[in-house]
Structure formats: structure tokens, C-alpha cells
Chains A and B, each alone.
Chain A
Amino acid sequence: MKYKDYYETLGVARTATQDDIKGAYRKLARKFHPDVSKVADAEARFKDINEANEVLKDPEKRAAYDQVGSGYRAGQDFQPPPNWDGFASRGGAGAGGASPFGNGGAGFDSSDFFESLFGGRGRAGAPRRRGPVPGDDHHAKVSIDLEDSYRGAERGITMRMPAAGGAAQDRTLDVHIPKGIRAGQSLRLAGQGAPGSGGGQAGDLYLEVEFKPHPRFRVDGSDVYLDLPVAPWEAALGATVEAATPDGPVQLSVPKGSTAGRKLRLKGRGLPGKTPGDLYAVLAIALPAADGDSAREAYEAMAKSFAGYDPRARPAG
């Protein structure tokens, strides 16, 4: 187990006052809150920040942490002292009661390091009740390909789930991804959350869907966009061109006189569903290189033919 430097996590000195700690925590919590931050590891950072705060905001726990931790550096191998019998028992929690530092209010998912110092018993958080208690609902995110939504798919999903006793464990589920599902929608899997106790029902699992970024397609709700390069003469004279869509290639007719940025709509070819989305091909004019005699001559002939054309002239009006 690695030693964690909670002061470093919050970016405060070991001599920081409780107010300093509170301020530093609040600032970092806002910055790395998973609902606010776009940083890739925001969730992990937020957990670390919360864990550090959980210890440092409490003068008793902070003192205990300072005592066992003096002499350690972040990342060093750590073992609690042999006479360390867990902090919870010193805190005066009633026998059988939930640990006051368990998963109670903050609901944070603590590290092994934290558990070795302050954990121990009753991580469940909620006071024990008699009779059936339903299990908690769980949430996870699942990244799928855009094509999965077009066709439906089967996906193996691995989640880290809190298990009884506090440790996290991996759980893999095969899940059917229904056709037409959109980013931001959730799949509800009844009974796949945490098991209930005392004969209570298991909770549900909610899987929130997001699309992996696609090199060619962009999604907006149920509409899908793609860039369609066309040659200048195809745009000017009109043409029928082939476009690759998530659903396979289609023939698209480019109207004559088209300009870059023009959107060609294929109704109902977006994400499927009760109200299917539309597919938009956004035209981009691709210029062939003038790298041969005949290509150069063609450009020169064009320049001659369009002698009066000023691409920088503002349109009248």
C-alpha cells in the first residue's frame, strides 16, 4: 500500500490552518467535480481531494494522520504501525454502529490507505434496520460506437463496484445495446444494482450511454453530420456522388451551384428511433493540386475564363 500525502493533494503546507484547508478543498472540489470538469481523470482527482479533506478537516484525524505519517513521502510503501488498532475504535463509535468515518455523508470511495487508518467496520453508512432493505441503485457509463446505435449491439461492460466489506471489485455484464439509443440516455437494468438485505429487492443499474468520438461522423441529439468533400466542378455543375454513412454508402445528388458549407439533408438517415434523426452531409470543396502540365493549364484556362471574378468581393446588399 502506498502512503498518500493529503497535504500535497490539497496543495497546502503541513502547517496550514483549518481555514486554509477548507478554502483549498472548496476550490479544488469545484475545479475537479466530475459534473463540472472535463479533465480526463477528474473523477479520480475528485476522490483523492475528498479523501484528503475527510482527514485534514477533522483535527483529530489530522493529528492521527500526522502522527503515523511523519517521515513518509507520497508513493512510499506504507504499513500502519503494529499497535494501530484502527481509528474508529478510538473515536468512541458505539459497538455495532456505523463507523463515523465510513461511507456516511460524503459518500466517497476511499482508498486502501484511508481504510487502513480510518476504516475498519461498518462501511455501509446507513444505520442497520430490521426487515427488508432494498439495495442501492448503481450507475455506470458505457462508451459505444455510433454504429452500435444504428444497428443495436451486444457489449461486455466491466464496472468497478463497491462490494461488501468495502473493497471494490470488477463485475462484467453482457448488455444488449438497443438500436436508436442516444448519447445522454440511460438504460435501466432492473435488479442489477446492489443486492438488498433481509430479503429486500436488489437495486437497479443505470447505464448512461456516450458515443466514442468518430473520425468522420459527428452527432447532435439524433442528427448525424458528416463532411463530404466535392471537386469544384461537382459543386459548380452538380453531380451525383457517393457518401459513406454509418448505415452504408448512399448516392447523394449535389445540386449545381453548391458552395462550401452547404448542408444536404438525408431525412430519417440519422439515428434510428420513433422519430429518427436526419443525416447532414456538409459540403467541403476539395481543390486538386496543380502539379502537372495539364493540371496547371486547366487552372490557367480557368483563371482566363473567370478574369473578372473577385473571390474577396462582398456580395451586393
Chain B
Amino acid sequence: MVSQSPTGLRGSIVGEETMLTIVELCRACQASELEVELWIVEGVLQPAEGSTREQWRFGAVALRRTRAAARLMRDLQINAAGVALALDLIERIDGLESRLHRIGTTDE
């Protein structure tokens, strides 16, 4: 199976071939710019590039975390600090689980 000439839709890899502005990030995650700024302050996410709001560019991790933050906040009524804590814990569990998986002792 050598790679055939691509016929399907071509996307761009977020964080590598394309970076998101705060407007694009907000649209993608159904979050407001105010919320995103608040989450940046709380350490939920950080821009990969840029020092001012207009220059901020976000990558794959920010996209994933912002989406999760928006959903957790909306669905579970968690405030920004709670969202930051929940995401850090979820990430830690994911890390531990993939480590378990890597050493081959997971029962999944």
C-alpha cells in the first residue's frame, strides 16, 4: 500500500500547517473571547505564538483544551479555576494510562 495520489479533501494540520487566531479558536470551540482570555490567565491554555491578543496564534493543544474547557464549563457549571484543575487531572490520568499501555500492563 504505497500512498496513492490524494483524491480526498485536503485539510491542514492545526498547529503545524495552520495556526488559529483567537477569533477562529472561539468559533471552533463556541467560546467567547472573554472566556478564552480568562482561561489563559488561569493556565488552561496558552497561545503558541504572539504577545498581544491580535498576534496570538493557537495550536492543537489549545484547540483541544479550549473545546474541553468550553464544554466542561457549560455542561457542569465549573468556573475557570475548576476547569483548569479538571483538565490538568484528566491530562495526568491520560498520561498515566498511556504509560501503563506502553509498558503493556493495561487490561483495556
Contact = CB atoms under 8 A, between A and B. Distances in A.
Interface string A198-242: 000001111110000100001010000101000000000000000
A152 B75 CA distance: 36
Interface in B1-57: 1-4, 6-16, 18, 27-28, 30
B68 A154 contact: no
Contact of B72 (A33, A155, A205): A33
A103 B74 CA distance: 13
Interface string A284-296: 0000000000000
Interface of A: 26, 29-30, 33-36, 46, 50, 105-107, 134, 136-137, 139, 147, 151-155, 173-176, 178-179, 181, 184-190, 192, 203-208, 213, 218, 220, 225, 227, 273-274
Interface of B: 1-4, 6-16, 18, 27-28, 30, 60-61, 63-64, 67-68, 71-72, 74-76, 86, 90, 98, 101-102, 104, 108
27 contacts: A29-B75, A33-B76, A35-B71, A106-B74, A106-B75, A107-B74, A136-B30, A139-B67, A151-B1, A152-B6, A174-B8, A176-B6, A176-B8, A184-B60, A184-B61, A185-B13, A185-B15, A186-B14, A187-B13, A188-B12, A188-B14, A190-B11, A203-B27, A205-B11, A206-B14, A208-B64, A274-B16
Contacts of B74: 105-107
Contacts of A173: 8-9
B75 to A, nearest CB: 6
A29 to B, nearest CB: 6
B102 A30 contact: no
A153 B75 contact: no
Contacts of B76: 26, 29-30, 33
Given A151-B2, A153-B3, A181-B13, A36 B86 contact: yes
